[in-house]
Amino acid sequence: MRALVVEDEPRLATGLRSGLEAEGYAVDVALTGTDGLWLAREHGYDVVVLDLMLPEVDGFEICATLRAERVWTPILMLTARSADTDQVRALDTGADDYLTKPFSYAVLIARLRALVRRGAAERPCLLQVGALRLDPAARKAWLDETELVLTARELSLLEFLVRRSGQVVSKRTILEHVWDDAFDGDPNIVEVYIRRLRTKLGEQFITTLRGAGYRLASP
Amino acid sequence: MRALVVEDEPRLATGLRSGLEAEGYAVDVALTGTDGLWLAREHGYDVVVLDLMLPEVDGFEICATLRAERVWTPILMLTARSADTDQVRALDTGADDYLTKPFSYAVLIARLRALVRRGAAERPCLLQVGALRLDPAARKAWLDETELVLTARELSLLEFLVRRSGQVVSKRTILEHVWDDAFDGDPNIVEVYIRRLRTKLGEQFITTLRGAGYRLASP
DNA sequence: CGCGCTGCTGAACCCTTGCTGAACCGGGTG
DNA sequence: CACCCGGTTCAGCAAGGGTTCAGCAGCGCG
Do B168 and A106 make contact, defined as CB atoms within 8 angstroms? no
DSSP per position, B14-43:
HHHHHHHHHTT-EEEEESSHHHHHHHHHHS
Residues of A in contact with B156 (CB under 8 A): 1, 24, 26
Q: Do A110 and B211 touch (CB under 8 A)?
A: no
SS3 call for B44: coil
Nucleotide nearest to B208 (CA to C1'): C18
Give the pLDDT confidence of A42-73 residue by residue, as tens digits.
777 888 999 988 888 888 888 888 876 767 78
Q: Which segments of chain B have a pLDDT < 70? A: 1, 81-82, 118-125, 137
Q: What pLDDT, in 10s, does the model give residues B173-193?
A: 899 888 877 788 899 999 999
Q: What share of chain B is helix, strand, coil (3-state, %, to 5)?
A: 40, 20, 35
Average pLDDT of every residue of chain A: 85
- Report the distance from CA of residue B219 to the C1' of nucleotide C26 in Å, as an integer: 38
Give me the DSSP letters along B94-149.
T-SEEEESS--HHHHHHHHHHHHHH------SSEEETTEEEETTTTEEEETTEEP-
Helices (H), chain A: 10-22, 33-42, 59-68, 84-93, 105-118, 152-163, 171-178, 188-201
Q: Which of B40, B27, B19 is nearest to B1 (CA)?
A: B27
Task: Render pLDDT for A142-198 as a digit per residue (tens, 0 to 9).
Answer: 999 899 999 999 999 999 999 888 889 999 999 988 988 778 888 899 999 999 999
Q: How confident is the model at residue A122 (pLDDT cuts 50, 70, 90)?
A: very low
What sign results for the dihedral spanned by CA atoms B47, B87, B93, A87? positive
Q: What is the pLDDT of residue A124?
A: 42
Mean pLDDT, residues A109-118: 78
**For B51-93, how does the pLDDT look when each residue is reduced to its tens digit (9 = 90+)?**
988 888 888 888 888 887 777 888 999 887 667 777 777 877 7
Specify the pTM: 0.65
The highest-confidence range among A15-24, A31-40, A69-78, B116-125, by mean pLDDT, is A31-40
Structural element, H or E, at residue B59: helix B59-68
The Cα–Cα gap between A113 and B136 comes to 8
Backbone angles phi, psi at B168, to 5 degrees: -90, 130
Confidence of residue A123 (pLDDT cuts 50, 70, 90): very low
Phi-psi region of B179 (alpha: psi -120 to 50; beta: other; left: phi over 0): beta
Kindly determine whether the C-beta of residue B188 is less than 7 Å away from any atom of nucleic acid strand C.
Answer: yes
**pLDDT bracket for residue A121 (50, 70, 90):** very low
Numbered residues of chain B with Cβ closer than 8 Å to any chain A Cβ: 84-85, 87-88, 91-92, 95-97, 104, 106-107, 109-111, 113-114, 118, 121, 123-125, 136-137, 139, 152, 155-156, 159-160, 166-168, 176-182, 209-212, 215
Average pLDDT of span A26-47: 86
Residues in contact with A203: Cβ distance below 8 Å, sequence separation at least 6, in sequence order? none
**Residues in chain A within 8 Å Cβ distance of B104:** 84
Cα–Cα distance for residue pair A64/A74, rounded to 1 Å: 13
Could you tell me how many CB contacts below 8 A there are between chain A and chain B?
110
Top residue of A38, A43, A84, A91 to mutate, by most chain B CBs within 10 Å, is: A91
More confident residue, A193 or A26: A193
Among B99, B139, B180, the residue to mutate for chain A (most A Cβ within 10 A): B180
Q: What's the confidence (pLDDT) of residue B123?
A: 52
**pLDDT value of residue A211:** 87
What's the confidence (pLDDT) of residue B210?
Answer: 93
- pLDDT for the residue numbered B94: 79
Domains identified in chain A and CATH numbers: 2-118 (3.40.50.2300), 127-216 (1.10.10.10)
The protein footprint on chain C, as nucleotides within 7 A of a CB, is 6-11, 17-22
